Amino acid sequence: MNKILIDLQHISKSFDGQMVLDDLNLYIRENEFLTLLGPSGCGKTTTLRILGGFETPDQGKVIFDGADITKMPPNKRQLNTVFQKYALFTHMTIAENIAFGLKIKNKPKTYIDDKIKYALKLVNLEGYENRMPDSLSGGQQQRIAIARAIVNEPKVLLLDEPLGALDLKLRQDMQYELIRLKNELGITFIYVTHDQEEALTMSDTIVVMNQGYIQQIGSPEKIYNEPENAFVADFIGDSNIIGGTMIEDKLVEIFGTKFPCVDTGFGHNKPVDVVIRPEDVILSSPVNGKLKGIVTHLIFKGVHYEMEVTANGYEWLVHSTGMFPVGTEVGIDVDPYNIQIMNKPASEDEEAAKIDE
């Protein structure tokens, strides 16, 4: 494990009496690709702005490499930001944009020229030195924004929804590009997004946030396969969240039918939320399934079919490569290891968050 580079301790921040972050604690390791993921207004951008020095927390400390930098202005921090809409200097050429930070630091001209070449090569835009930002496409501008940040050799690169304005194909290409960049540079990336697919693709660690609170921290696999609460389950991908009862360890009851599962430690006859991913629902002939239902919707999605199956009054969302026409009676089954058990939300806040979604 790499050592801890950034430590956010008890960070609180409110705007006009509106609590945006409430006692947030988070540490970030060296060379980690960490993503802050959540819906708009969850406090992810505020967290990033506090890291960048553009906001000061009401309470709490930001520890960077062992030193308290809570009140340090942005220009003194050893981290650089890639902004949402690129924020390039439109009155300067690409080379001047990239050289901005280095010129401020009075680096020698040959050093700056080398760095510009190196950075443009790194983002695959060699020969663009004398172009103006306005003449570049969105994706190219974004690469320049990244180049402009990394020539300063920051220890940490902050990225605020950098791919938000790009189209789907370009966004996917840029995701691979970012992973490659991170590996080549060997620095820490802190990435803010509301796009769960982006987060799952690129991150080492995902921090799921909602309403100023951290909902879950974990690897993409863990977040997807073992969501800790209904919010995370619902926000990360599609899912069926069903109220059930935990009969005993490794046995849960849904709609009066007992399903074997792998979770333990929830107690006996406890009400729980059960998460089943749409791709984990197995459809078969009515006699083979544990539950019986009727297909009510069918959409072809390319990779798979998306179906809605009504069983016991609940609409199951199902992704399957096999197709069952609307009106077909089907049986529903789920493998034990694909059933994820979660405690019912404890507070009303969490409940409300669930309904919002």
Sites of contact with another protein (CB under 8 A): 52-54, 73-75, 77, 80-81, 83-85, 87-91, 100-101, 104-105, 145, 148-149, 152
Shortest separation between residue 161's beta carbon and another protein, angstroms: 12
What is the per-residue DSSP string for 41-62?
Answer: TSSHHHHHHHHHTSS--SEEEE
What is the per-residue DSSP string for 9-48?
Answer: EEEEEEETTEEEEEEEEEEEETT-EEEEE-STTSSHHHHH
Shortest separation between residue 167's beta carbon and another protein, angstroms: 21
Q: Which is nearer to another protein, 193 or 196 (CB)?
A: 193
Shortest separation between residue 111's beta carbon and another protein, angstroms: 15
At position 152, the amino acid (one-letter code) is: N
Contact 214, 252 (CB under 8 A): no
Shortest separation between residue 353's beta carbon and another protein, angstroms: 29
Rounded to whole angstroms, what are the CA distances from 160 to 52, 62, 170? 11, 18, 17
Shortest separation between residue 344's beta carbon and another protein, angstroms: 42
What is the per-residue DSSP string for 161-224?
Answer: STTTTS-HHHHHHHHHHHHHHHHHHT-EEEEEES-HHHHHHH-SEEEEEETTEEEEEE-HHHHH
Q: Which is nearer to another protein, 135 or 183 (CB)?
A: 135
The C-alpha atoms of residue 17 and residue 230 are separated, in whole angstroms, by: 28
Q: Which is nearer to another protein, 191 or 224 (CB)?
A: 191
Contact 80, 68 (CB under 8 A): no
Shortest separation between residue 92's beta carbon and another protein, angstroms: 8
Tokens read off for 161 = 């929804």
Q: Provide the 10 A C-beta neighbour count for residue 188.
A: 23
Q: Provide the 10 A C-beta neighbour count for residue 174.
A: 20
Q: Which is nearer to another protein, 45 or 239 (CB)?
A: 45
Q: Which residues pair with 53 in a beta bridge?
A: none
Q: Which is nearer to another protein, 74 or 271 (CB)?
A: 74
The C-alpha atoms of residue 160 and residue 52 are separated, in whole angstroms, by: 11
Shortest separation between residue 149's beta carbon and another protein, angstroms: 8
The C-alpha atoms of residue 278 and residue 319 are separated, in whole angstroms, by: 5
Q: Which is nearer to another protein, 149 or 261 (CB)?
A: 149
Q: Which is nearer to another protein, 152 or 188 (CB)?
A: 152
Q: CA quadruple 134, 138, 143, 145: dihedral positive or negative?
A: positive
Shortest separation between residue 214's beta carbon and another protein, angstroms: 25
Q: Which is nearer to another protein, 82 or 295 (CB)?
A: 82
